[in-house]
Amino acid sequence: MKLYSVYENGILKKINRVGFDERKVYLIDDYKVFYLWFGSNSSEKKKEFGKKRAKDLNNKRKTPAKIQIINQNKEFGAFLTIMDILKEGLQKEISKEKRDELVFELEDTLELMDAGLELDLEAEITLKAHKLSQEGISYEVLSKRLAKLQLIFLKGKTKPLVGEVKKKTEDILKSSTTFDELTWLVSELEILIKKKQLK
């Protein structure tokens, strides 16, 4: 995942956390989706530059990502499930650079493995998410698993409380996140947490 703040002159500045400032526009690159978050008092100029930058990055991709516009206080879907993590911020040590021109689908990833090439973070997530989707886990169980992972990611070694997990699970269930999005988010966090623990 890559996070950017969009400036009035169209410059994208890499950031480690999203402050959800009402005057700002943020671009969140989550590999499969570009989220454009528009603060309620952000300028039209920033919004237009945000859209243009998202399209520019998307055009470099082998397989285009979805571009979703998210307005402040009207957040929806999978974005709701990652807001806390965006606020807390990504750890520098687990923030992985990814070549913008590459987006791995399952077949592409398997071909790279067969060729003996090293997989990047997105390819690892793709494989793990595909495997997870084949395990027959229910939507509710997967939502609870994501809730626990988000809390572990945010709190570090402190074990999440049962009440916290329950509330976070309820939030995810209300977010209308698709099953595929859940498998992707669960896989992404499991890999990031593991990499963080190995540091």
User: Is 21 inside a domain boundary?
Assistant: yes
Asked if 172 and 115 sit in the same domain, the reply is: yes
pLDDT digits (tens, 9 = 90+) for 150-165: 998 887 767 888 999 9
The dihedral over CA atoms of 181, 187, 193, 196, expressed in degrees to the nearest 10, equals: -110
- What is the model's pTM? 0.64
Per-residue confidence (pLDDT) for residue 143, from 0 to 100: 94
Asked if residue 153 lies in contact with residue 192, where contact means CB atoms within 8 angstroms, the answer is yes
In the chain, the number of structural domains is 2
User: Is 81 inside a domain boundary?
Assistant: no
Maximum CA pair distance of the chain? 50
What CATH number is associated with residue 26?
Answer: 3.40.20.10
Strands, sheet with 33-38, edge to edge from the N-terminal-most edge strand: 12-15, 2-6, 25-29, 33-38, 66-71
- Residue 30: give the domain boundaries: 2-75
Rounded to the nearest 5°, which phi and psi values hold at 90? -85, 140
Asked if 17 and 103 sit in the same domain, the reply is: no
Asked if residue 17 lies in contact with residue 88, where contact means CB atoms within 8 angstroms, the answer is yes
Output the six-digit token pair for 21.
Answer: 């400032």
Output the six-digit token pair for 197.
Answer: 């623990």
Asked if 70 and 104 sit in the same domain, the reply is: no
pLDDT digits (tens, 9 = 90+) for 57-78: 999 888 888 999 999 999 988 8
